[in-house]
Structure 1
Amino acid sequence: MKLSLGPVLYYWDKVQLGQFYAEMSALPLDVIYLGETVCSKRRAFSLDQWLGLGRELQQCSPAQIVLSSLTLIEAASELSSLRRLCDNGQLLVEANDMGAVQFLAERKLPFVAGPALNMYNGHALGQLQDAGMIRWVPPVECSQGLIRDVLDQLGEMGRTLPEVEIFAYGHLPLAYSARCFTARAENKPKDDCDFCCINYPDGLALTSQEGQALFTINGIQTMSAQITNLLADYPALVACGADLLRLSPRAQGMAEVVAAYQRVREGAPPPLFVDGCNGYWHGQAGMLRVEEVGLC
C-alpha cells in the first residue's frame, strides 16, 4: 500500500507552504500532490512557482509529484490557467473538473481522476480510462462496498483496473459553491474578501444552534466537521482493492499522521479505535464513528 499527501486545501501563505513541503519531502510518502484546488484567488504560489516546487521535490524526494487542478471553474481566466496547467509538460495532473479531463484527453495525456469527479460505476470509469485516466480517487462519500462493486463491474467489462486511491485522513471535502462562505462569515463580499480564509489554517468550524459540530467552512468549500481517519480500517482498505491512501494536509501534526500510517503498512497491527469519523466508509452517515454505534 502506498501513501499519498493530498493537495493543501486551505489558504496558507508562501512561508508556511514552503516549510510544510520541506518537512513532508523527508517523510516516507509515495505521491505528493501540489497546487490550488479550491479558490483561484489564493495566489500564495503561482502556477510557475508550483512547477518550480515540483522540480525541487523531485530532486530531494523519491515521491511522484502530481499537480492538482482547480475544482470549480467560473471564469475565462480560470479556464486559461487550467489549460496552462494541463500543458505543463512536466508533471502528471490530477483532474478535479471535467474541463481538465477534456483538455488532457485532447492532448492524450495520462491523468489522475480526483475525488470531485462524480464517478460511481464501472461504465463511467471506463470512459475516463479511454480519456487517459490511470488512477481513480473515489468521491469521499463512497463506501468500501460501492468501491468494490465498481471495480468488479470494471473487471467484468474486461478492463484493466486503474490504481485506486482512497481519501483516508483529513476533513472531507463535501461540496463546492460559487459563494464564499468564509467571506460571508466575516461580512465581506466575495470580490473584496481580503483573503480572510488565511486566518483559518484548518478551516472555520460551523456549529448548529445547539452547539453540535456540523461542517468546516473553507472558502467556497464545505467540509466535514470531524476528521475522517481510516487507519483502524486498514485491512478493509487492502481487501477492497486500494493501492494508495490519501492523507489530506493539516496545519499541525502531519508528520505524526504519516508515521502512524507508515507503522501499520510496515506490519504493525492497526489500532482498534482512532479519533475521527468513518461512517461513509461503512455505508453509514459520514459523521458517525461506526465502532461507537455498534454498526460493525
Structure 2
Amino acid sequence: MKLSLGPLQYFWPRERTLAFYREAADWPVDIIYLGETVCSKRRELRTRDWLALAEELAGSGKEIVLSSLALIEAESELGALRRLVENGRFLLEANDLSAVQLCRERGLPFVAGPTVNVYNHRALALLIEDGLRRWVPGVEQGRTLLQEMREALAADGQAMPELEMLAWGRLPLAFSARCFTARALDIPKDDCGFRCIDYPDGLPLATREGEPFMTINGIQVQGMEIVDMAPERDELAACGVDILRLYPQAQEMADIVAHFRRMLDSPVPPPRLGARNGYWHGRPGKASLADPAP
C-alpha cells in the first residue's frame, strides 16, 4: 500500500500552508494532493500559487495531484478549473462532474474524488471509459459495497481501478451553497470576513444537550471524530485498497504520517488512535472508539 496526503480541507493562512507542505516534502508519503476543494472564496493561495507549489514539491520525488472544488457555482470557478485541468503536467483529482467532463474532452486521465457519486459498477465503468485512473470512494461506502462492485466489474471483464480510501481524518459528509460557519457566527456569507481561518481544524458543533455532534468547515459539514482506519489495514488490503489517504490536520501531522508508515511496515496492525469508521462496517457512521467491535 501507498500513503497519500489528501487535500487540505481547512482554511489556513498562506505562510502556514506553504510551511506545512514544505515540511510534507520530507514525510514518508507517496502522493500529495494540492488545491482548494471546499470554498472558492478561500484565496490565501490562488490557482497560480497551487501550481507553483506543485512544481516545487514535484522535486521531492512524490506524485503530485491537483484537487478541484467539490461545488462549482460560478463561471469564474470554471475558469480556475480549466487552468488546473490544462496544467500540462499533473494529474487532476476531479471532485465534480464538470471536472470529469473537462478531462474527458481533452483525453486526460483523472482521479475521481470522494464527492463524485459512484454507487454501482456501471457508473464506475463509464468513468473508466472517460479516463478514470484512480477512484476515491465516498466516506459512506464500506467494504461490502466495494467487494460487490469489484465482483460485478470482474463479471463484465473490467478490472477495478486503483483504489484509495480515507484512513485518517474527519469524514467529509456534505456540502452546501450556504456557509455554515458564517451562519454559526451570525454573519452574511457574502461578507463573511473569511472567519473560517480562525478555526484551523473546523468549528465544533454540539447538540442542545451539549453532546459533540459535527464539525462545520465553511460550506462543508464533517463528522466530529477523527477516523482511524489503521487497525483495518488487513481488511482494506483484502478489498484491494492500494492507497491510504490521510487528511491534513493543524497539529502533529508528521507524527500521524510516521504512525501510518510504521503500520505498513509492521506484521500486526497498531492499536486505534482515532475513532472507528462505522460506515466501513455497515453500521452508523458515528461509531466511536468506545463502541464494541463489530
Q: Measure the CA separation in 2 of the matches of 1:164 and 1:11.
A: 27
Match in the other structure for 1:175 = 174
Match in the other structure for 2:9 = 9
Match in the other structure for 1:142 = 141
Q: Which amino acid aligns with 2:178?
A: R
Contact 1:3 1:245 (C-alpha < 8 Å) held by counterparts:
yes
Contact 2:150 2:159 (C-alpha < 8 Å) held by counterparts:
no
Deviations 1:216-257 (A, max 9, x none): 000000000111110111111111110000000001111111
Match in the other structure for 1:114 = 113
* 1:141 Cα deviation after fit: 0.7
Q: Which amino acid aligns with 2:266?
A: G
Q: Measure the CA separation in 2 of the matches of 1:149 and 1:257.
A: 31
Superposition map of 1:236-247 within 5 A: 236-247=235-246
Deviations 1:30-75 (A, max 9, x none): 110000000000011111111110011011x221000000000111
Deviations 1:83-121 (A, max 9, x none): 221111121000000000000000000000000011011
Mapped pair 1:188 → 2:162: no
Match in the other structure for 2:55 = 55
Q: Measure the CA separation in 2 of the matches of 1:192 and 1:25.
A: 35
* Structure 1 residue ranges (4+ consecutive) displaced by more than 4 angstroms after TM superposition: none
Deviations 1:111-151 (A, max 9, x none): 00000011011111000000000000000111111111112
* TM-score normalised by length of structure 2: 0.98
Q: Which amino acid aligns with 1:174?
A: L
Match in the other structure for 2:150 = 151
Match in the other structure for 2:291 = 293
Q: Measure the CA separation in 2 of the matches of 1:27 and 1:292.
A: 31
Contact 1:232 1:274 (C-alpha < 8 Å) held by counterparts:
no
Mapped pair 1:204 → 2:220: no
Contact 1:172 1:223 (C-alpha < 8 Å) held by counterparts:
yes
Match in the other structure for 1:273 = 272
* 1:295 Cα deviation after fit: 4.4
Q: Which amino acid aligns with 1:197?
A: C
Helix, strand or coil for the counterpart of 1:29? coil
Segment drifting more, 106-115 vs 79-88: 79-88
Contact 1:32 1:64 (C-alpha < 8 Å) held by counterparts:
yes
Contact 2:225 2:274 (C-alpha < 8 Å) held by counterparts:
no
Helix, strand or coil for the counterpart of 1:145? helix
Q: Measure the CA separation in 1 of the matches of 2:159 and 2:190.
A: 46
Match in the other structure for 1:124 = 123
* 1:161 Cα deviation after fit: 2.0
CA RMSD, aligned part only? Answer: 1.1
Q: Measure the CA separation in 1 of the matches of 2:291 and 2:45.
A: 43
Helix, strand or coil for the counterpart of 2:23? helix
Helix, strand or coil for the counterpart of 1:293? coil
User: How many pairs does the alignment contain?
Assistant: 294
Identity among equivalent positions (%) equals 51
Q: Which amino acid aligns with 2:291?
A: V
* 1:268 Cα deviation after fit: 4.4
Helix, strand or coil for the counterpart of 2:287? coil
Q: Measure the CA separation in 1 of the matches of 2:209 and 2:51.
A: 46
Listed as ranges, the gaps of 5+ residues in structure 1 are none
Helix, strand or coil for the counterpart of 1:66? strand
Q: Measure the CA separation in 2 of the matches of 1:295 and 1:139.
A: 22
Deviations 1:166-191 (A, max 9, x none): 01110111000000010111111111
